[in-house]
Amino acid sequence: MVLPFSSPRLLLTLVAACAVMGLGQAALFTFQPLLMAATGLSLARINGAFALGSALFLVGTPLWALVGDRIGRKPVLMVALAGFLVSHVFLLGLVLACRAGRLSGDAVGVGLLLSRVVYGLTVSGLVTATQGWLVAGWPADKRLLGLSRLAAGLTFGRLVGPLLAAATLLVSPLGPLWLVALAALPVLAALGGLAEARTMPTVATVRPWPVWRGLAPYWLVAFVSQCTLGLVQYVTASWLVARLHWNPEAAAARLGGMMGLAGAGALAVQLLLLPRLARAERQAVRAAWGLVPALALMPLTGSGWSAWLGLASLAAVLALVVPTYTHRAVEVTGAGNPGRVSAALATAHTVGYTVSAALGGWLFDRHPDAPLWLAVLGALLLAGTLGSVIRPSREAAMP
């Protein structure tokens, strides 16, 4: 069935695709201690595999953006969701074989790398396809609201992911992996029932250099925001084990609850607060500054409540910040090349996640608090950079 770009059903499908990606991220974060226990792999080695998959987004994201602009976004989404499914089913099979004594931990480590290669080369097209589809078809005055819905989809996935992962632990220690392995099937079925419009919106041709030059400050903001997020997410589960002396199962279950509550707050920001917020850009800068002390309390106190506060603050602030700078980037550079703008910001997010994955495990092996202090520094840089980007933009818009 061919649907218009602004169709609620089509928007719901795009949001669901983003939710699958968010669910996969959050569920695997809660699964890290269990994966370490099941395979004997170190956190640095596991995060190194995640970093490899994220690094491949640097290749896949711009290529899928170009492919989507030429052949349509639906094929790109189908490939991304299929890659998500295959990579996690493969990882599940590896862990099952290891637990049965058929594979060594080193063999699982090699297989983990391969699964993340598949993930990086395919799922890298998901965000740029959904954002490019929405930006190309939605009116300018509704674009921020539409982008906030896609961001809400990611947040919803991160919200239900930890909760469902914690619930599946009651059934099986590998429940979170089963959950992630099967999550993409319903969205693939829903997307397969839709037919993309044959006539895509006309996309104006803009020379690459002016677009990338205009995006440079927003690229930096996007990089810093996701690097800060990744530093906290990649190490919190292991940090709870090291600092609070919880066993891996308890850490996974309680982290699921923490991330679920944090995700609920972020979802409320995106769905209820952001559409009604006056001077959203100024409020985003203020919220970024408030993130600094919230994250600093984690290494300072080493307590469970500080971990919840840090995760909740991080989720709520980024729920406000990410749609704000994405919308501003589209406005500043012009909406003539939505695929290119989305690809640039998605690439920045990927680089941030890649750097945080590589640094997080390495720093954690030296001291559990080290990645968190780097996240505090990242929050400081985020607030300062965001303020410097938004202030000139606001002044330039004044008559």
What's the token pair of residue 303? 């307590």
Model pLDDT for residues 357-396, shown as the tens digit of each residue: 778 878 988 899 999 999 999 999 999 988 887 765 444 4
213-226: average pLDDT: 83
Q: What is the pLDDT of residue 6?
A: 53
* Mean pLDDT, the chain, whole residue set: 78
Q: How confident is the model at residue 292 (pLDDT cuts 50, 70, 90)?
A: very high
Model pLDDT for residues 136-190, shown as the tens digit of each residue: 666 666 666 666 677 667 767 766 776 777 777 778 777 778 888 888 999 888 8
**In terms of Cα–Cα distance, which of 16, 49, 30 is closest to 186?**
16
Buried b (16+ CB within 10 A) or exposed e, 100-116: eeebeeeebbebbeebb
Higher pLDDT pick, 93 / 216:
93
30-48: average pLDDT: 76
Q: What is the pLDDT of residue 202?
A: 40
The structure's pTM equals 0.67
Q: Is the predicted pLDDT of residue 114 greater than 90, yes or no?
A: yes
184-206: average pLDDT: 65
Higher pLDDT pick, 261 / 6:
261
CA triplet 98, 231, 173: central angle to 5 degrees? 30
| Sign of the alpha-carbon dihedral angle for 181, 156, 235, 357 | positive
Kindly tell me the burial class for residue 267, based on how many C-beta atoms sit within 10 Å of its own C-beta (0-12, 13-18, 19 or more). Answer: buried
CA triplet 128, 129, 130: central angle to 5 degrees? 95
